[in-house]
Amino acid sequence: MDTIVNVTGGKGGNAFLLLGNEKTALIDCGMAYCAAQLISNIKQYLNNKTLDYILISHSHYDHLGAVPFLKKEWPNSEVCGAGYAERILKRENALATIRKLSEQAAKLFHAGELAWYDDALMKVDTIIRDGDILELGGLRIEVLETLGHTRCSLSFLVNNETLFLSESTGYMSASGKLYPGFITSCADTLASIEKCRKVKPRFIISPHYGLVNDSDAAGYWQNCITAVRETKEFILRLAEQGYEEEQILHRYEQEFRDEQSRLEQPLTAFMLNAQNMIKTVLREKPLSEPTY
């Protein structure tokens, strides 16, 4: 994997540089607060090359926050993402939320004030879809639509062996614990986990974590499913006991926001995700039906 380099600029979101013989691509770019370090890391490996593609797994601030800074440094690079991401990034409220969460992350990670950036650069240049192929020269990237976390979630399969997962399948924290990520659809999330499992990748790159070691990879897909099931059961059990959504949210925070989560994610982002997961479970699954 010497043509795939971890160039992450700081805590909270990963970034991987793919160095093809002809072109280069960045898969996700992390948060805005650490964009300067990200750019410095990328330049160490580009040599005389330029950055051709910026591939975003979805439209959340911790995966594309550095886009405006990258576009300023490499204006001809193409930001590639799903069609839904393109539409999201045209909404003023979405851009405002990205900026607000980026500012909170800068404080959480003690980075000082967030550097100014132009919202006009926070956009998708090229729409990519399930099955699309990008050729870098010696490196081949296949786009996989993996919905569930968002309606724009994409995973990327490199040379049929290295799979960069979207957050739909969940994410592994530094502690090794797997957290679910089914913000928009639990059903889509389970389908995405199965879709990725069938690829049978040699290497798994988990969002917010990186390369999964062999011992964790052996049970990775089942652990993803288990994380979804346990969260669903927790939410449904409280709902059946008569808890309102706000009460479930409070209990969810107590149960799932552990010390590692506090170190890795701002409270606002955690609560927004949890709130949407609760709504998704209650919307998709009638309480009288069995859970997964």
The whole-angstrom distance between residue 191's C-alpha and the CA centroid of its chain comes to 17
Report yes or no on whether pTM surpasses 0.85.
yes
Give the mean model confidence (pLDDT) for residues 120-126.
98
Q: Which residues of 251-279 are buried (b: 16+ CB within 10 A; e: fewer)?
A: bbeeebeeeebeebbbeebbbebbbebbb
Question: What pLDDT, in 10s, does the model give residues 195-244?
Answer: 999 999 999 999 989 999 998 899 999 999 999 999 999 999 999 999 99
Average pLDDT value over all residues in the chain? 93
32's tokens: 């805005």
DSSP bridge partners of 177 = none
DSSP state of 83: H
What pLDDT shows up at residue 139?
97
The pair of three-digit structure tokens given for residue 2, joined into one six-digit string: 């010497």
Query: CATH assignment of 4-221, given 3.40.50.880, 3.20.20.140, 3.60.15.10, 1.10.1740.10?
Result: 3.60.15.10
- For the chain, give every residue range classified as CATH 3.60.15.10: 4-221
CB neighbour list of residue 188: distance below 8 Å, 6 or more residues apart: 147, 148, 168, 182
Of the candidates 69, 54, 222, 61, the one whose C-alpha atom is nearest the C-alpha of residue 150 is 61
